[in-house]
Amino acid sequence: MKNSGKPITQRQLRVGEMIKQALGVLFIRDEAKISNLSTREITVTEVRMSPDLKTAKIFVMPLGGKNSDEVIEKLKMSSFVVRKVLSKKIIMKFLPKLFFVKDDSFDYAEKIENLIKQTNK
């Protein structure tokens, strides 16, 4: 999933957004039957596609950030199930392999906001 300094193409962005929307609907409807996990509580924040569109890095965040590591592990373990259900929603020549990653951007944004507040005092 290394981009090697090349800019992200319009096609990568378009396919990533298409997968993001499909995963969002799939999770809201709880269509991917993952044991001991309610996918309705998962937010897909971003999908980054590799240049060859064969792999997708999916940034997810559980609702409220609760048990995020546990949720990510369950998604990683059952990514084949999610991919199978996704294959019925999206028509592509090759459906990418899905890699689920915790989205730390909210924590980072909060950290920056706290630093700004501290400097303004």
Better pLDDT: 91 or 66:
91
- What burial letters (b/e) apply to 30-44, b meaning 16+ CB within 10 Å? eebebeebebeebeb
User: What token pair was written down for 1?
Assistant: 């999933």
Position 112 scores a pLDDT of 87
Mean pLDDT for the stretch of residues 85-111: 87
What is the pTM (predicted TM-score) of this model?
0.81
Q: Where are the domains of the chain?
A: 10-120
The fold of the 10-120 domain, in CATH, is GMP Synthetase; Chain A, domain 3 (3.30.300)
Can you tell me the distance from the alpha carbon of 3 to that of 49, in angstroms, rounded to the nearest whole number? Answer: 9
Q: Is the pLDDT of residue 105 over 80?
A: no
Position 107 scores a pLDDT of 76
Nearest Cα neighbor of 73 from 20, 118, 34 is 34
Per-residue pLDDT tens over the stretch 18-59:
999 999 999 888 888 888 887 888 889 999 999 999 999 999
**Counting every residue, how long is the chain?**
121
Position 63 scores a pLDDT of 81
Q: Is the pLDDT of residue 2 over 60?
A: no
Can you tell me the distance from the alpha carbon of 105 to that of 107, in angstroms, rounded to the nearest whole number? Answer: 5
**Do residues 42 and 29 make contact, with C-beta atoms less than 8 angstroms apart?**
no
